[in-house]
Structure 1
Amino acid sequence: MIRAMNLGFDLLLAAGLVYVAWRALGVRDLFTAIVLFIAFGLLMALCWVRLDAPDIALAEAAIGAGLTGALLLDALGHLSGRRAGQGAPPDTDQDARGELDGTRPPRMRDHAAAGVLGLFAGLIVAGGLWFLPIPDGGAYAAMASALDAHPVSNAVTAVLLDLRAYDTFLEMGVLALAALGALMLRATAAPAPQALPPARTSRLLPAIGGVLVPFMLMAAVYLYWAGTGRSGGAFPAGAILAAACVLLFLSGTQQLAARDHPVTRSVLALGLVAFLAAGWASAAMGGGFLQWPQGWVYPGILALEGVLTLAIGGMLAMIYTADAQPPQPPRPPRESP
C-alpha cells in the first residue's frame, strides 16, 4: 500500500513538473512566467528529495528558486520601468514591441522552433543515455570503500572538497566571473550609486527582515557545521547567507549594495584564494595539490568550507545588489545661454 502511494506521488510530481515547465515556457505574461519558474524550482527541489539527494535539493531551493527568482523579478521591474518611463524604442517594429510587453500572440514559426528545439534536446538525451559507459564494479567498489573510510561522512562534501576538489575550484572561478560581470554591467548602466533601493519606503519589509535574518544566519551556520556529517555544506549555507543579505538590502541597508570597493574585490577573490591556499598547504605538508595529507582531511575541509560559505554568500548577494538599485533618471540637458 505504501509503495503504491509513493509511486502515485512520484508520478503526480513528475507530471506536475512537466506541466509547470511547459506553462512557464508558453505563457505570455512575464510575471506569470517568473512565478511559474519559481514553482518549477521548488518542485525540482522536492524531486531531489525523493531521489535521496537532500544536498542538491537545498541548493536548488535556495539558488534555483530563491535567488534566481529574485533576479528575474528585479529584471522584470527594470523592463516595466523602462516601458513605463521611456516606451519602446522608436526604431522597433510592432512585433518587437509585442515581444517586450507580451501582447503579441505566438506565431507558427515560434511553435515550429520550439518543436525543433524539443526534438534536438530529446536526441541529445537519448544519445547520452545510449552512450553511457557500462558501470564498472571495481571502480564503484573502490569509490565506495574510499567514501566509507573517509573522515568526512557526508559523501557530497567528501567528493566536492577532497576527491574532486578541482571541480569545485573551477566552480568558484565561474561564480567569481559571474559576480564580476554583474559589477561591470552595474558600472556601465548606472552611474549614480547613491540611488536607494525601492523598498526603503516599505515599513513591513524591514520588520520582517528584523525577525527572519537572525534565524537565516543561524540556519546558515548550522548547514555549514553539519555539512561534514549530513546534508548541508558551503553551497546551501552560502545561499541562505546571500538571501539574508538580499533581504537586508531590500529593507534599506544601503551598505550592502555592490560597488567597486576593496571589500568587494576581496570577496570576489576569496574563494579562489582559499582553494589556492589549501592546495599549497596540502602540497607543503607532503600531499599533492588539493590532496589532503593524513590527519588533516577533516580540519582542512572544515576550514575550507567556512571560507567558501562566506565567499559564496558574498558573491551571490553581490550578483543581486549589483543590479537591484534602480538608476536615477538621466539629467536634462543644459540649455545654452
Structure 2
Amino acid sequence: MQFAIIATSVAFLVIATLMPLSHRAVWWIRDFDFPRLQLAVLASGLLAVELVFLDLSDIASHGLITVTAACLLYQFWWIFPYTRVYRNEVKASLGAQEGDTIRIMTANVLTTNRNTDGLIALIRKHEPHVFVTLETDSWWQERLDVLEGDYPFSMKCPLDNLYGMHVYSRLPLEDGAIQFLVEDDIPSMHAMAVLPSGRKVRMHFLHPAPPSPTEHDESTERDAELLVVAKSVVGLDTPVIVAGDLNDVAWSTTTRLFRKISGLLDPRIGRGMFNTFHADYWFLRWPLDHLFHSQHFTLSFITRLPSFGSDHFPVLVELTYDRVRGAEQQGLVPDADDKALAEEKIAAEPVSEADVHEPQA
C-alpha cells in the first residue's frame, strides 16, 4: 500500500515536471510553469519519505528514488537563479550623481479591495518617483487622485474588468500613450520619464491577461504582448524600464524568452524570488510582478512591501543610472531557436513590434 501511494505521487511529480516542456500554449500546460518552488519542496519531501519507507534493497524502489531526485534537480535548476547563492545579474549601486536615481513602485490593488488608505500610506512612506497601480477602476482613481499634489504627472485608464491601470509620477512624463496592443480591453502604458538630472528613461507598463480557465484557454495573448514589447526595446541607446503584473512567473519559458529577446536585466537574479502572489497563502506564492531594465542601471535596492489587503504584495525598486558599470552586466542571450520561437508566438496574434508606442527622447 505504501509503495502504491508513493508510486502514484512520483507519477504526478513526473507529469507536473514534464508538462512545461511542451511549447503548447493551452492554460493547463502553461500553468505548470508557476509552482516550480512548490514542486521542488514536494519532491524533497517525497524523497525523504522514500528513503524512510521504501525497501532500499528493491530495484523498483531505487527507480522511484532516482526519478524523484531527477525531478527535484530539474525543478531546482529553474529557481536556482532566484536564490542568494547565485551570481547577481545586476550590480549593486555604488552611489549616483544627484538626480540620477529612479524609485518605482508597482501594486496590483485587487479591484474589490477597499483599503486605499493602506496603499496611500505605503506610497507616502516610501516616496517612489513613479508608482503604477493595476486593477484600478474609477473608484480607486477617485481616491488615489488625492496624491496628485505630490504626483502631478499621470496616465489613467480606469476599467471595471480587472485590467484598469494608473501611473502617477513626480517626474515629468513625455510622449505618453495608452495602448490596447493585443486585446481591446487590456491596456498598456508607454512614456518617457525625465529624471531630475534631465536624463530620459523609456518606460513600458504592462498587465497582460493570464492563461486560465476563467481568462484565456491559451497564453498566446500574453506571450505576444510581452514579446512585441521585447522586440521594440532591444538594442536601444535610451535607458529602458518594463514593469507590471505580467501574469507569468520569473522563471517561465516566456519570461526568459522576453529577457533574451529584449536584452533587459532582472534585478532579482541572485537576490531572491520576491514572490508577490498570493498574499494570503504563504504556500502558494510566486513572482508575478516584475521590473526589468536595460544595462544603463545598477540596483540601489529591491524590496517586497507589506500587504494592504490585495492578493498581491507591492514591490519597490530603486535603480541608479551608471552606464559605465552597467555596461559590464550581461543578461540572457538568444540563439536562433529562441528568435524563431519568439516569432512563432508573436505570429499567433495580430500584433507586431511596430505597433508598440516608442516614446522619443
* TM-score, length basis structure 1: 0.25
Higher CA-based Rg: 1
Structure with higher strand content: 2
* TM-score, length basis structure 2: 0.24
